A and B are shown apart, each in its own frame.
Chain A
Amino acid sequence: MTRVAVVCPGRGSYGREELGSLTRGRPGGAQDLLQAADTWRRKVGRESVTDLDSRGRFSSRHLAGENAAALIFTGSALDAMALGPGLEVVAVCGNSMGWYTALHVAGVFGFEDGLRLADTMGGYQADGVVGGQVITPVVGEDWRPDPTAQEEVETVLQEVAQAGAFAARSIHLGGFAVLAGDDKGIRVLLKRLPRRRLGRRDYPFQLLGHSAFHTPLMEPTARRARKDLADLPWRAPRASLVDGRGRVFRPRTADPEALRDYTLGAQVVTTFDFTTCLRVVLREFAPEALILLGPGDNLGGAVGQVLVREGWSGLHDKQTFLDRQASGCPILHAMGRPEQRARVAARS
């Protein structure tokens, strides 16, 4: 058995490239799950996941909170189901809304309850986006921490406060800082954060359609969720879960009430520290490999950056990570990439 940790991606992991990935080439077992997703979606009056995934063209419709959440949750759940034998899942974690998927993958919820959680949380955005999120890198091209960039973020956050606006750290995302704030805060962030280029992208930029998740601005949303989801049946997980603070919930000892309180409380309104979360997964569970569920693979960079930050398994910069990935013994298997998926998915 290979000891692996499963990482569930968050918003932004279903894009143009992923169109059709949920429905095409899935084995028989996946159909039941897709059908369950579609049924549930229709029941709440939303476009089915199958229809969304089968559209001819990627559009803003796919990015809308309620749709993106359902697509990603369903895609990840399909991938988790497809994991082959010979893998021992020692820990499960996720980034941001990937936490909801993680709860399902670790067995806290069945598929439908998990979908309801993800869909409900994402769906609140249909009533209007609250503030926004901005992303900017805090590492160099080699993925090593860039202290200057870190300081700049701190300075700009202070400037936002001085300008009488609100902004805070939303997600510690490996080599990126995701900042969130109210509308004025976002304007200051975009204006004041220094321009940086990493890979082929220019930063900072605003994440379209994203509310100011993981900040106190989401308090009303959290309150609403606690009410709307009061009847959600919380169970103890079957696999160890690591949350966005780095707290470990273990199968026999996790308190379902604590899971609920976190998921519908602190998780929504305080910084989601994916960096620490993955650090805890690595240091306390020491998996032989990490599996990044699909759809998409764009969390892979952040995962790689955490591995580099931790110096895990001898990786100390982007190149050593890429070399390792190209070797016969890669450390990260992204199921959104066919060649990597083939290594960990069951043969259909």
Chain B
Amino acid sequence: MAVDRSPIVDRNLLRMVASWERERETAAEPQSVLRACPGLDGRTLLELFESQITSRHLDLIARVLKREGRGFYTIGSSGHEGNVVLGKLVRATDPSFLHYRSGALMVERARQVPGTTPVFDTLLSLVASAEDPASGGRHKVFGSRELWVPPQTSTIASHLPKAVGCAFALDRAGAVDWSPPVPDDAVVLCSFGDATVNHATAQAAFNAMAWTVHQRLPLPLLLVCEDNALGISVRTPRDWVAAALGARREIRYLRADGTDLPAAWAAAREAVEHVRRTRRPAFLHLDVVRLLGHAGSDVEVQYRDEQELVEVEARDPLLRTAALVLEAGLMSPEEVHGLYEETRARVAAAAEEAARRPRLRTAAEVVAPLAPYHDHTVEAEACRNDFAAVRERVVGPPEDWPERSERPRHMAVQINRALADALAKYPQMLVFGEDVAGRKGGVYHVTADLTRKAGLGRVFNTLLDETTILGLAVGAAHLGFLPVPEIQYLAYIHNALDQLRGEACSLQFFSAGRFRNPMVVRIASFAYQKGFGGHFHNDNSVAALRDIPGLVIAAPARGDDAVGMLRTCLAAALVDGRVVAFLEPIALYMTRDLYAEGDGLWQTVYPPLDEVVPLGRGRVAAGTEARDLTLVSYANGTRLCMRAARVLEREHGVGARVVDLRWLAPLDEELVLEQARATGRVLVVDEGRRSGGVGEALVTLLAEHLGAGLQGVMRVCGEDTYLPLGPAAEAVLPSEARIVAAALSLMEDRAAQRRGLKA
């Protein structure tokens, strides 16, 4: 049996056309309405057929290019070409998140926007050319700015939550004094396969969708499951998709044979109209076949026998459309043959040209979209304070503006004030999370009263699911909103991390900067809550965030810094599309004192609106003149270091300066090196874990740049453990005493020297 089925699938259409003997039913004019296809006229049918054929030839050439070592991707659309109807029925202004079998849909959708070139674009993507307009040679994706198709590189199902988020945000625009760049009646399209339906992330999206509709909130989302009954080689149980999703009260479910254009057309039209008119979701279930295997590398004959393959190939949607076209007399067999071969020639010729186009060569070229950063513009935007009138409405009369008060307050209050100001400054900003709304504003009251100030449309509670929260942020940000989602505790980010790692942070990279999803994710973080809460309320690990390309990680220690940094983060999101993890140290939210009870030294006044902390800029928090030792830390560690420095000085005569990094990414390497050189001894205090923590990066930095030039480098860091409940937590975290002890041992050589001198 032939392993490569592409010549067979290719020949099938030509054979079918060559042996077409039936008399033409009518010699129909293209504009006549076909009896067999209500609502679908002849011309439209022919257009869809053209797009299906074009998509097929793109699949076939992909395999040729791969064999020749010129192409790098063979997951195709063959058998799924029924999705072409969505290319016609869904508008090019409807944001669409499409999976990798969307060739026919894309070719058809491109008709709606003159000047687009779907054939060449797809080919450029197949050959990984730097000129690929979707990803600049970074992935084979269907994507297009003009066609409102953000490229999906999806880790399977990871694009569903943002589709829900985007649809939610579309109709949220009405509640906000700001409009997204799409028509008012736009809907969101999201497509995926049958195996994807089972993914936890997909289930989260379905649930969020139902949860939203259950509350009678609008959600204009069309989900399309292209069910080819296989997940690579694993069979989907018969009728499973229908069983799983067919009976949800909140979701209009429609099913059609996706290999049969009239059937697919009728169902899709009904689904699109339903979503557009009612602003409620629909689930379009299209039964399709998968031809040519999962990808070129997939040897299908290992799990499908020949009879099955032949049967599946007989259901080729192109054969069915061809039959329809011939039966209606819209084309003669010779014309179909001609169209098929002329398209083959066209695609092949374009492929030759595309294969010659340049590819990415250097690391700098590859990473370019990760760093389109404009620090000065960001700083100017962060300092902008031209919103007094709105501020008066949102925050209150000028006499209540917080910078007018000289009374120092703790960090939670300052962040709350900064968020209120930001809501006034940015009409497109949304604040949401599991428990952020109302007077309470979450466990730590950081968002208290913001709902009253900015309205329930902009500050609202979500369901308890981090995947949904971040998906909502990603989707809303696609439309130009400035989402500030809250994750209740650092430990909780991990069950939704892919929404940051695989989705949010990858968008600018995989779209070569053509799409962006700016956001500032606030996360209550770190330990030291006086033994309260146990691990999941005290998680101190940032390893999973630190290596996400492009992610900004902020970790303020003081209230005034938190304000200045938040302003910068919002500006960086707006100006450069950046994604930010804003780690708020829970234990410092309410901390008032630094050295002694009642000294109030950890409280600050509210910085004026034009005072900001530049991105990636740390500071020397204490001991600017100290010559003996440099302590480098962040968040809780900064305060511990300052206390320890005082002990070192007063009790041991050791002068220590304290560097507060403030940003964990990007790190202020220059400052660390400069401060290390100043004393020659560095103690890194990292409340994160020993493995994968910021401390590792700092020690590496020092070794690479200063190496033997330093007299000593040490770390005090969290142990590689989960945190225990109660006071035992102190045993595995940096403490003032451990810092002092480590500092003294670092100074041991000098002490010895002194002893030697005395002797």
Which residues 340-399 in B have Cβ within 8 Å of A in the complex?
342, 345-346, 349-350, 352-353, 356-357
Q: Mark A304-323, 1 if CB is under 8 A from B, else 0.
A: 00000001111000000000
CA distance A313 to B352 in the complex (A): 9
How far apart are A30's CB and chain B's nearest CB, in angstroms?
30
Contact B120 A243 (CB under 8 A): no
**Contacting residues, chain B, for A245 (C-beta < 8 A):** 114-115
B115 CB contact (under 8 Å) in A246, A282, A287, A312: A246
B42-50, B255-263, B735-743: which one contacts chain A?
Answer: B42-50
How far apart are B45's CB and chain A's nearest CB, in angstroms?
9
By beta carbon, the residue of chain B nearest A252 is B46
**Contacting residues, chain B, for A313 (C-beta < 8 A):** 353, 356
Question: Counting CB contacts under 8 A, is B331 at the interface?
Answer: yes
Contact A252 B331 (CB under 8 A): yes
**In the complex where A90-B346, A253-B46, A286-B350 touch, is A311 in contact with B115 (Cβ < 8 A)?**
no
Contact A246 B339 (CB under 8 A): no
B116 CB contact (under 8 Å) in A246, A252, A255, A273: A246
Question: Counting CB contacts under 8 A, is B119 at the interface?
Answer: yes
Q: Mark B87-117, 1 if CB is under 8 A from A, else 0.
A: 0000000000000000000000001001111
CA distance A283 to B46 in the complex (A): 22
Contact B114 A247 (CB under 8 A): yes
CA distance A255 to B121 in the complex (A): 26
**Contacting residues, chain B, for A288 (C-beta < 8 A):** 349
**Contacting residues, chain A, for B342 (C-beta < 8 A):** 90
A255 CB contact (under 8 Å) in B43, B119, B131: B43
Which residues 303-352 in B have Cβ within 8 Å of A in the complex?
330-331, 335, 339, 342, 345-346, 349-350, 352
A286 CB contact (under 8 Å) in B111, B330, B346: B346
Question: Counting CB contacts under 8 A, is B455 at the interface?
Answer: no
Question: Counting CB contacts under 8 A, is B724 at the interface?
Answer: no
Contact A252 B335 (CB under 8 A): yes
Question: Counting CB contacts under 8 A, is A187 at the interface?
Answer: no
**Contacting residues, chain B, for A280 (C-beta < 8 A):** 115, 117
Contact B116 A286 (CB under 8 A): no
How far apart are A241's CB and chain B's nearest CB, in angstroms?
12
CA distance A255 to B31 in the complex (A): 9
Contact B331 A247 (CB under 8 A): no
The tally of CB-CB contacts under 8 A between chains A and B is 66
**In the complex where A250-B50, A273-B115 touch, is A314 in contact with B356 (Cβ < 8 A)?**
yes
Q: Mark B618-657, 1 if CB is under 8 A from A, else 0.
A: 0000000000000000000000000000000000000000
**Contacting residues, chain B, for A250 (C-beta < 8 A):** 50
Question: Counting CB contacts under 8 A, is A13 at the interface?
Answer: no
By beta carbon, the residue of chain A nearest B118 is A284
A247 CB contact (under 8 Å) in B115, B335, B345: B115
Please report the total number of A residues contacting B with Cβ < 8 Å. Answer: 27
How far apart are A254's CB and chain B's nearest CB, in angstroms?
9
**Contacting residues, chain B, for A247 (C-beta < 8 A):** 114-115
Contact B357 A246 (CB under 8 A): no
How far apart are B189's CB and chain A's nearest CB, in angstroms?
23
A253 CB contact (under 8 Å) in B43, B350, B356: B43
Contact A243 B114 (CB under 8 A): yes
Question: Counting CB contacts under 8 A, is B30 at the interface?
Answer: yes
CA distance A217 to B350 in the complex (A): 39
By beta carbon, the residue of chain B nearest A287 is B349
Question: Counting CB contacts under 8 A, is A276 at the interface?
Answer: yes
How far apart are A276's CB and chain B's nearest CB, in angstroms?
5
Contact B335 A283 (CB under 8 A): no
Contact B350 A283 (CB under 8 A): yes
Q: Mark A286-313, 1 if CB is under 8 A from B, else 0.
A: 1110000000000000000000000111
**Contacting residues, chain B, for A273 (C-beta < 8 A):** 115
CA distance A347 to B527 in the complex (A): 88
Contact B47 A253 (CB under 8 A): yes
Main secondary structure of the interface of B (DSSP, over half): helix
Interface centre among A90, A253, A280 (most CB of B within 10 A): A253
By beta carbon, the residue of chain A nearest B47 is A253
B117 CB contact (under 8 Å) in A3, A236, A284, A312: A284
**Contacting residues, chain B, for A314 (C-beta < 8 A):** 356
By beta carbon, the residue of chain B nearest A1 is B345
How far apart are B60's CB and chain A's nearest CB, in angstroms?
16
Question: Counting CB contacts under 8 A, is A333 at the interface?
Answer: no
Contact B339 A252 (CB under 8 A): yes
Which residues 102-160 in B have Cβ within 8 Å of A in the complex?
111, 114-121, 131
Question: Counting CB contacts under 8 A, is A279 at the interface?
Answer: yes
By beta carbon, the residue of chain A nearest B119 is A284
By beta carbon, the residue of chain B nearest A275 is B115
How far apart are B595's CB and chain A's nearest CB, in angstroms?
58
Interface centre among A247, A252, A280, A312 (most CB of B within 10 A): A252
How far apart are A103's CB and chain B's nearest CB, in angstroms?
17
B114 CB contact (under 8 Å) in A246, A255, A286: A246
Contact B346 A284 (CB under 8 A): yes
By beta carbon, the residue of chain A nearest B117 is A283
CA distance A21 to B404 in the complex (A): 84
Contact B120 A284 (CB under 8 A): yes
How far apart are A98's CB and chain B's nearest CB, in angstroms?
18
Which residues 240-291 in A have Cβ within 8 Å of B in the complex?
243, 245-248, 250, 252-253, 255, 273, 276, 279-280, 282-288
CA distance A314 to B354 in the complex (A): 11
CA distance A136 to B417 in the complex (A): 55
**Contacting residues, chain A, for B43 (C-beta < 8 A):** 253, 255
**In the complex where A3-B345, A245-B114 touch, is A312 in contact with B119 (Cβ < 8 A)?**
no
Interface centre among B30, B117, B121, B342 (most CB of A within 10 A): B117
How far apart are B16's CB and chain A's nearest CB, in angstroms?
19
**Contacting residues, chain A, for B330 (C-beta < 8 A):** 252
By beta carbon, the residue of chain A nearest B335 is A252
CA distance A234 to B321 in the complex (A): 28
Contact B357 A311 (CB under 8 A): yes
Contact B46 A279 (CB under 8 A): no
How far apart are A287's CB and chain B's nearest CB, in angstroms?
8
**In the complex where A243-B114, A252-B331 touch, is A283 in contact with B47 (Cβ < 8 A)?**
no
CA distance A250 to B119 in the complex (A): 15
CA distance A253 to B31 in the complex (A): 9
Which residues 70-101 in A have Cβ within 8 Å of B in the complex?
90
**In the complex where A247-B114, A279-B117 touch, is A252 in contact with B30 (Cβ < 8 A)?**
yes
Contact B120 A283 (CB under 8 A): yes
Contact A284 B357 (CB under 8 A): no
**Contacting residues, chain B, for A282 (C-beta < 8 A):** 353
**Contacting residues, chain A, for B46 (C-beta < 8 A):** 252-253
**Contacting residues, chain B, for A312 (C-beta < 8 A):** 353
Q: Mark A203-243, 1 if CB is under 8 A from B, else 0.
A: 00000000000000000000000000000000010000001
Q: Mark A88-131, 1 if CB is under 8 A from B, else 0.
A: 00100000000000000000000000000000000000000000
How far apart are A293's CB and chain B's nearest CB, in angstroms?
22
Contact B30 A253 (CB under 8 A): yes
CA distance A90 to B347 in the complex (A): 12
CA distance A269 to B645 in the complex (A): 75
**Contacting residues, chain B, for A279 (C-beta < 8 A):** 115, 117
**Contacting residues, chain A, for B356 (C-beta < 8 A):** 313-314
**Contacting residues, chain B, for A284 (C-beta < 8 A):** 117-120, 346, 350
How far apart are B288's CB and chain A's nearest CB, in angstroms?
24
How far apart are B698's CB and chain A's nearest CB, in angstroms?
42
**Contacting residues, chain B, for A252 (C-beta < 8 A):** 30, 46, 50, 330-331, 335, 339
**Contacting residues, chain B, for A276 (C-beta < 8 A):** 114-115
A-B contact pairs, 17 of them (CB 8 A): A3-B345, A3-B346, A90-B346, A243-B114, A247-B114, A252-B30, A252-B50, A253-B50, A283-B119, A284-B117, A284-B346, A285-B346, A286-B349, A286-B352, A288-B349, A311-B131, A314-B356
Apart from A252-B339, A283-B119, A312-B353, what are 14 other A-B pairs with CB-CB below 8 Å?
A: A90-B342, A246-B116, A248-B111, A252-B330, A253-B46, A255-B43, A279-B115, A283-B120, A284-B118, A284-B120, A284-B346, A285-B349, A286-B352, A314-B356
Ranked nearest first, the 3 interchain pairs of A and B with the lowest CB-CB distance are A246-B115, A283-B120, A247-B114
